């Protein structure tokens, strides 16, 4: 099934065996509530790792049946993250989720060379799926949160993550646009030069499973009229499923403009580790948390 709206992920997941989400430092009502609502919707099963007394107290306050969950007692934040990661590595979980813990501690647990979730030479990145009411389909974009200035190898890795995410959403041949300030191929602008190299790599089969083109300015990524006016011949231009950003500033501005000015909804995951990881925030809406958990579960289906 090709997913064209974020809520369609819920329908797919309800009819499948449930992946297990492990919440690290699940010591707050926001995390426990998101896990519980996801379980109630039939998206995942949950494991809560953290201060057991706090977890039990919150469940009682929120009228949540704590017996529905495996609760692992680890009061210390760093130890809770390490224990959650260990459960994943032991095959007892399919998705990692950040609870009430500092992002640095959470990321250190994932990146730990001896006990973390990374394979050698793997690249950790962030993928966002945006549903903008002004665009005719979902937009899968990266990186907006982790890699400040990706080099060519990192851009290739991010491109592959965008493609993998699109495949998880049922898009068989996604169209990947490589964003730059203009469509001109020039060595003077690194983003343009890197985009040209990645495009050629895709043409030669070094990047598979997608149509890839760039450099393309933003109007050429998403607007068919601009493509026609500029006379661009491309299988991707004007109809992109995925957009690779040249740096975190471009990605973050695009992300926040969509959410703050265009009322876009979204789901987001950290990719590149052995399992999808959710980098949740207390400020995230319920819709964003649900969509992020569902997106992680959709991506975990391919890792079975």
Summarize pLDDT for 151-197 with one digit per residue, the tens.
999 999 999 999 999 999 999 999 999 999 999 999 999 999 999 99
- For residue 303, what pLDDT band results from cuts at 50, 70 and 90? low
pTM above 0.85, yes or no: yes
Express each pLDDT in 54-92 by its tens digit: 999 999 999 999 999 999 999 999 999 999 999 999 999
Cα–Cα separations (whole angstroms), residue 199 to 165, 174, 205, 299:
19, 14, 10, 25
Phi, psi of 81 (to 5 degrees): -65, -45
> Mapping DSSP to helix (H, G, I), strand (E, B) and coil, where does residue 243 land?
strand
Taking domain 8-121+273-301, whether its CATH number is 1.10.150.20 is answered by no
Q: How far is Cα 252 from Cα 203, in angstroms, rounded to an integer?
A: 29
Fold of 125-261: Isopropylmalate Dehydrogenase (3.40.718)
pLDDT at 282 over 80: no
Q: In what order do the strands lie in the sheet with 44-50?
A: 70-73, 44-50, 19-24, 95-98, 277-278, 265-271, 125-131, 139-142, 242-244, 175-179, 211-216
Per-chain mean pLDDT for the chain: 96
Q: What are the tens digits of pLDDT across the range 184-215?
A: 999 999 999 999 999 999 999 999 999 999 99
Q: Which stretches of the chain are DSSP H helices?
A: 8-14, 29-40, 52-61, 77-89, 103-111, 152-168, 190-203, 218-222, 224-230, 248-261, 286-301
When pLDDT is cut at 50, 70 and 90, the band that residue 219 belongs to is very high
**Residues sharing a CB contact under 8 Å with residue 274, sequence separation 6 or more, in sequence order:** 88, 89, 117, 118, 119, 303
3-state SS class at 112: coil
Residue ranges per structural domain of the chain: 8-121+273-301, 125-261
| Rounded Cα distance, 24 and 284, in Å | 17
Distance CA 107, CA 179 (A): 27
């Amino acid at each position: 099934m090709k997913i064209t709206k974020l809520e369609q992920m819920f329908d797919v997941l309800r009819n499948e065996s449930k992946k297990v989400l492990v919440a690290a430092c699940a010591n707050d009502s926001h995390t426990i509530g998101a896990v519980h609502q996801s379980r109630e919707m039939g998206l995942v099963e949950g494991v809560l790792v953290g201060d057991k007394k706090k977890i039990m107290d919150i469940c009682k306050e929120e009228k949540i049946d704590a017996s529905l969950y495996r609760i692992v007692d680890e009061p210390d934040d760093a130890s809770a993250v390490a224990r959650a990661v260990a459960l994943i590595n032991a095959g007892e979980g399919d998705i990692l989720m950040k609870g009430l813990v500092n992002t640095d501690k959470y990321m250190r647990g994932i990146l730990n060379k001896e006990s973390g979730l990374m394979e050698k030479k793997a690249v950790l990145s962030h993928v966002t799926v945006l549903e903008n009411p002004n665009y005719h389909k979902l937009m899968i974009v990266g990186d907006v949160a982790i890699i400040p200035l990706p080099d060519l190898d990192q851009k290739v890795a991010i491109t592959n993550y965008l493609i993998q995410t699109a495949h998880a959403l049922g898009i068989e041949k996604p169209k990947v646009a490589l964003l730059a300030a203009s469509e001109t191929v020039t060595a003077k602008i690194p983003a343009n030069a890197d985009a040209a190299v990645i495009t050629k790599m895709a043409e030669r089969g070094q990047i598979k499973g997608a149509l890839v083109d760039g450099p393309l300015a933003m109007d050429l990524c998403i607007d068919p009229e601009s493509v026609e006016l500029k006379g661009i011949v491309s299988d991707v231009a004007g109809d992109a499923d995925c957009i690779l950003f040249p740096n975190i500033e471009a990605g973050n501005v695009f992300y926040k403009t969509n959410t703050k000015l265009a009322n876009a909804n979204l789901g987001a995951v950290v990719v590149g580790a052995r399992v999808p990881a959710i980098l949740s925030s207390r400020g995230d809406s319920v819709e964003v948390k649900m969509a992020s958990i569902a997106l992680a579960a959709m991506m975990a289906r391919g890792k079975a």
